[in-house]
Structures are given as C-alpha cells and as structure tokens.
C-alpha cells in the first residue's frame, strides 16, 4: 500500500517517508565543490547581466558573510569586490573586527570599517517612538542603517549588493525586512546553516569563524540559537523534515525534541511568510 503526503505540491511515497523519518544531518551533506561552482557562476553571471562593475559584501565576522565573500571573490576576482564591516561601539566584539580584517587580507579584498554608532545614536534622538527597551525594533533599525551604508557604496561604485542570508534564516524569518534582507542577490538562501559550514570548510575559511557563536550583533550577548530556541543543527532538520512533508509529530519523534519546539519553529515559518514575498500589489485596471 502506498501512502502519499501532500505538502507544497511535493509527494512522498511510503518508503521515502520511512527513510526521511529518521532525520539526520547526513541528509544535508553537499557536493561542496559542485555547489561552490554553481554559486560562483550565479554571482558572476548576474553581475555581468546587470552591467554593473562588481559587488559589495557586508562582512560581520561570522561564517555566513565569510562564505559569501569567498564565493563572490571566486566569482569576480578580488578587484571587483569591495567589503564593508559596520561595527557598533560597545556592541561589536573587537575580535569580530580582527577576524574580518584577517579574512579580507587572506582574500586580498579592500575592506572599509564604518562605525555606525553615531548614525544609530542620531536615529535614536530623532525617531519619535524610539524605545530602547524594544530590542526588536531597535535591532531592526540598526540592520536597516547597515543596509543604507551598503547601498551607498553600491550606488557610488556602480556595484551589486550580495546578501548572506541562509535557508534556515530565510524560512524562519530570522532577518530584518528591508535590512539585511534588502540585497540584490541571495546566493545561499537555498542552503541550511549546516550546509553553509560545509562550504566554509571547503573554502578554507578559518575554523575560529566557522565555530563562532552565531549572532546578528544587534545587542550585547545576542545569540541566534538562544533567540530561536534551539541549535541550528536541530532547526535545520526540523525545516528539512517540514519541507519534505513529514508531519510535525514525526519530526519531533525522530529528533527526540519537544513537539512544542517543532510547532514554534514552524510557526515562525508561517508567520514570516510576508518577509519572503514582494509587497502585494492591488490591480485596479478593471476600475480605472
């Protein structure tokens, strides 16, 4: 007897369902060299089609932006890539700036350090409803400030902004709408966090960057995994099971995690759908 699950137009037969129900990171294993070539070609071809002069990459000191930078350099060569790192005083660890400078030196790209502290303080003073205790609103404002700086460089240098959002962040909405989500290309948005780390090792990104605690760097002590409520390894597999059409209870059972965790993660996917879409357009041609 064949059982079929319908989920976002995907169908799984019973044998495949049994296999997937034993969720493991081995399902996320990549042919890293092939993926690197595919992404590099994508970046290079899109920049060429656009007629622009190269790329702008914002680098934070974390693994995602490090991988995107390495891939962009591979695609375009270092002379056509400009990097920016945008620390905030008393928030960004000095080690992140050091890691960025060592990485950009390794990849032979120019990196500008733009301290956004004065811009953030100005925004705090002039925004009528600014509330320092509202961490989400305050953090989003910082992310959007960084976006403004990145596009200033892109406009002046006639270049394309390359984003570093991965699939785990994209599906859960763990990015700022019109902030770090506002870019021209998202070459890694179909790769889970685990897979980004696989590429990082293939690209010889320093291990200290790969193993660094993931953070958006918006306030002191912020951690991606603490905010999301689980490790990226578990979240990746919850999302993988979801995409393959595995029921929520089977995902929880396979990973030996609370059903509430699965519900919370998948609730984020549903609630943040608007972040993954262009603004809705009202067609008025029938009444105009």
Asked if 109 and 83 count as a contact pair (C-beta separation under 8 A), the reply is: yes
Residue 257 pLDDT: 94
Helices (H), 51-166: 63-76, 94-106, 117-126, 135-157
Closest CA to 39 of 203, 152, 194: 203
| Structural domain includes residue 189 | yes
- Per-residue pLDDT of 186-204, as tens digits, reads 999 999 999 999 999 999 9
Domain shared by 266 and 161, yes or no: no
The predicted model scores a pTM of 0.89
- Kindly state the tokens that stand for 105: 């030196």
Residue 2 pLDDT: 35
Domain shared by 131 and 37, yes or no: yes
Domain shared by 7 and 126, yes or no: no
Residue 3 pLDDT: 34
| Structural domain includes residue 286 | no
Phi, psi of 236, rounded to the nearest 5 degrees:
-55, -45
| Structural domain includes residue 21 | yes
Report, as ranges of residue numbers, the positions in the chain whose pLDDT lies below 50: 1-11, 14, 18
Name residue 111's beta-bridge partners: 83
Phi, psi of 112, rounded to the nearest 5 degrees:
-100, 135
Asked if 215 and 95 count as a contact pair (C-beta separation under 8 A), the reply is: no
What CATH number is given to the structural domain containing 91? Answer: 3.40.50.620
Residue 9 pLDDT: 41
Domain shared by 172 and 250, yes or no: no
| Structural domain includes residue 266 | yes
Domain shared by 252 and 190, yes or no: no
Domain shared by 37 and 164, yes or no: yes
Domain that residue 88 falls in: 31-228
191 vs 162: CA distance, rounded Å: 15
Domain shared by 220 and 123, yes or no: yes
Domain shared by 135 and 39, yes or no: yes
Closest CA to 194 of 227, 231, 220, 157: 231
- Per-residue pLDDT of 131-150, as tens digits, reads 988 988 999 999 999 999 99
| Structural domain includes residue 99 | yes
Domain shared by 39 and 88, yes or no: yes
Give SS3 for 179. coil
Q: How many residues does the chain have?
A: 288
Residue 286 pLDDT: 87
Our count of domains for the chain comes to 2
Domain shared by 67 and 136, yes or no: yes
Q: Which are the contacts of 135, defined by CB distance < 8 A and separation ≥ 6?
A: 218, 219
Name residue 5's beta-bridge partners: 12
Q: Are strands 81-85 and 55-58 parallel, antiparallel or unpaired?
A: parallel
Provide, for the chain, the percentages of residues in helix, strand and coil under a 3-state DSSP scheme, each rounded to the nearest 5: 55, 10, 40
Domain shared by 210 and 242, yes or no: no
| Structural domain includes residue 244 | yes
| Structural domain includes residue 283 | no
Domain shared by 190 and 47, yes or no: yes
């Amino acid at each position: 007897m064949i059982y079929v699950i319908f989920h976002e137009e995907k169908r799984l037969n019973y044998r495949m369902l049994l296999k997937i129900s034993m969720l493991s990171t081995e399902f996320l294993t990549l042919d890293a060299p092939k993926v690197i070539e595919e992404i590099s070609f994508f970046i290079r071809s899109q920049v060429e089609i656009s007629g622009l002069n190269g790329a702008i990459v914002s680098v934070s000191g974390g693994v995602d932006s490090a991988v995107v930078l390495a891939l962009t350099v591979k695609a375009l060569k270092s002379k056509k890539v400009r990097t920016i790192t945008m620390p905030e005083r008393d928030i960004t660890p000095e080690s992140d700036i050091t890691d960025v400078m060592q990485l950009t030196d390794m990849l032979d790209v120019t990196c500008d350090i733009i301290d956004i502290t004065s811009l953030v303080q100005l925004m705090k003073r002039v925004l009528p409803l600014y509330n320092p205790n509202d961490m989400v609103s305050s953090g989003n404002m910082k992310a959007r400030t960084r976006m403004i700086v990145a596009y200033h460089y892109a406009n002046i240098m006639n270049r394309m902004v390359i984003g570093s959002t991965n699939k785990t962040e994209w599906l859960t909405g763990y990015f700022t709408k019109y902030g770090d989500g506002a870019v021209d290309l998202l070459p890694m948005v179909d790769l889970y966090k685990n897979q980004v780390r696989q590429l990082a090792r293939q690209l010889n990104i320093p291990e200290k960057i790969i193993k660094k605690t993931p953070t958006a760097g918006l306030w002191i002590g912020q951690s991606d995994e603490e905010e999301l409520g689980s490790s990226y390894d578990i979240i990746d597999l919850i999302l993988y099971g979801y995409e393959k059409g595995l029921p929520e209870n089977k995902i929880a059972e396979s990973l030996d995690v609370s059903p509430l965790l699965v519900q919370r993660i998948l609730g984020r996917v549903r609630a943040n759908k608007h972040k993954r879409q262009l603004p809705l357009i009202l067609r008025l041609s029938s009444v105009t």
